[in-house]
Amino acid sequence: MTKYVINGGKPLNGEVEISGAKNAAVAIIPAALMVDGVCRIENLPEISDVKTLLQILKEMGAKIRVVNKRTLDIDCSRIGTSIATFDMMRRIRASYYIIGALLGRFGRADVAMPGGCNFGGVRPIDQHIKGFTAMGANVTVRNGIVSAVTGDHLRGATVYLDVVSVGATINLMLGAALAQGTTIIENAAREPHIVDLANFLNSMGADIRGAGTSDIKIRGVQRMTGGFYSIIPDQIEAGTYMAAVAGTGGRVVIKDVIPKHLECISGKLREMGVTVVDLEDSVIVQRDAPLFRTHVKTMPYPGFPTDMQPQISTLLCLAEGTSTVTEGVWDNRFKFVDELAKMGSSIRVDGRTAIIEGVPYLTGAPIKASDLRAGAALVIAGLAAHGRTVIEGVNYIERGYEKMIQKLTSLGADMKIIFERDEPRFKKKIV
């Protein structure tokens, strides 16, 4: 089992570069399936979710050429199958975007049900199915396979989403890009990665307007033919490093970001007494005084992101006084609280709200990540804690954070990865 070992209590100082956005990349790579030509995609993050999706595309017949470590040429012009039922599909949540892409391109799709982070609750896809059905598809789910069939092509329709869903907005936007006629998605999600996907599709030849607002209008086109696109910086990776500096103290320049996307995170950190200075494409984060308590409620963009909830909850464990964090997006995203308790935190969860009593310090302990952002939060806890923290379940973290150890050690963290073969018990066995 691979683990991270952190000797906490070291302030972070220096500069860190933020990678391309995971949740944009995992939508844009399936979108390449719809393009009849070569897509050059720049600023792809080197994370395992991206590698898994690229492997899925390859198995479907895509030609992928590495231009450099962050840039790929993807050519899906020769793909002739609408079937993607590989085991790999079940590894990641974003594999469901392949449904929208294949439906848009071929008018049918047989796709294995998505996997991905499990926060302990159900992750339904009823809004995706409702939208595709309104666009003329007959959708069935049997034995873990989603099958969606149209007579020929999807037809444009007006779809009102009952919940603001990032996944449903993206999936319907994909299907609609090559549908016959015009689709309007009402009550659409407005996250930066929705806008990024729309920009990608438009630069390949689609006709999408209104992304970033609650009403997105997509005029179906007959073909998309290829082009260049550079993915936006990762809002949540940036927020995670901002929270890490707030937890340890120090001063870090977070580079290659869009400060506008970080406004709600910067705002909360300022309320907690952290200095955040916005520059053109970077932010400076500095913490040299105790943290104040605050109250946080996660909401769809432009609200405070649920994907930063575990990280801010961890910080609030170290703030003076009582704070509350209310999860407004997912039913159950507080599994990590039990791990923080092992480090001496004081958190009580009541339904969707965590009531956090600040403690003067956390103490290093053996703990386990249960999902990607929970893992990031535990890293922050370990960096800020007194003593040694050993984190299991780091495969979750590597799904979404590029080179986290290198980035943090370059800022002064005392952190390393150990693989099972490095552990003494295993060495003894081979001797």
CA 134 to chain centroid: 28
Per CB under 6 A, 167 contacts ligand EPU: yes
Q: Which of 39, 76, 117, 317 is the catalytic position?
A: 117
Strands 227-230 and 414-418, by their bridges, are unpaired
Cβ-based nearer residue to ligand EPU, 56 or 365:
56
How far, in Å, CA of 58 to CA of 54, rounded?
6
* DSSP code at position 107: S
- Give per-residue burial for 46-59: e unless 16+ CB within 10 Å, then b: ebbbbebbbebbee
- Which 109-138 positions form the footprint of ligand EPU (CB under 6 A)? 117, 123-128
Per CB under 6 A, 277 contacts ligand EPU: no
# of chain residues touching ligand EPU (CB under 6 A): 24
Can you read off the two tokens belonging to residue 98? 């392949």
Q: State the nearest-atom distance from the C-beta of 293 to ligand EPU, in Å.
A: 25
- Which 185-214 positions form the footprint of ligand EPU (CB under 6 A)? 189
Residue 106 identity (one-letter amino acid): F
Per CB under 6 A, 12 contacts ligand EPU: no
How far, in Å, CA of 409 to CA of 405, rounded?
6
Per CB under 6 A, 19 contacts ligand EPU: no
> In this chain, which of 35, 168, 218, 377 binds ligand EPU, going by CB under 6 A?
168
Query: Is the preceding omega at residue 302 within 30 degrees of 0, hence cis?
Result: yes
> In this chain, which of 76, 166, 176, 291 binds ligand EPU, going by CB under 6 A?
166
**Phi, psi values for residue 239, rounded to 5°:** -60, -35
Element (H, E) at 2: none
Cβ-based nearer residue to ligand EPU, 165 or 199:
165
Per CB under 6 A, 261 contacts ligand EPU: no
Per CB under 6 A, 304 contacts ligand EPU: no
- Which 341-400 positions form the footprint of ligand EPU (CB under 6 A)? 372-373, 400
Can you read off the two tokens belonging to residue 261? 């996307």
Per CB under 6 A, 307 contacts ligand EPU: yes
- Which 21-60 positions form the footprint of ligand EPU (CB under 6 A)? 23, 26
For residue 117, indicate whether it is catalytic.
Answer: yes
Q: State the nearest-atom distance from the C-beta of 353 to ligand EPU, in Å.
A: 16
Q: Which of these, 410, 407, 405, 4, lies nearest to 238 by C-alpha position?
A: 407
Residue 43 identity (one-letter amino acid): N
192 close to 21: Cβ distance less than 8 angstroms:
yes
Can you read off the two tokens belonging to residue 99? 């449904």
Per CB under 6 A, 314 contacts ligand EPU: no
Which residues are catalytically annotated? Answer: 117
Which residues of this chain interact with ligand EPU, rule CB under 6 A? 23, 26, 93-94, 117, 123-128, 163, 165-168, 189, 306-307, 329-330, 372-373, 400
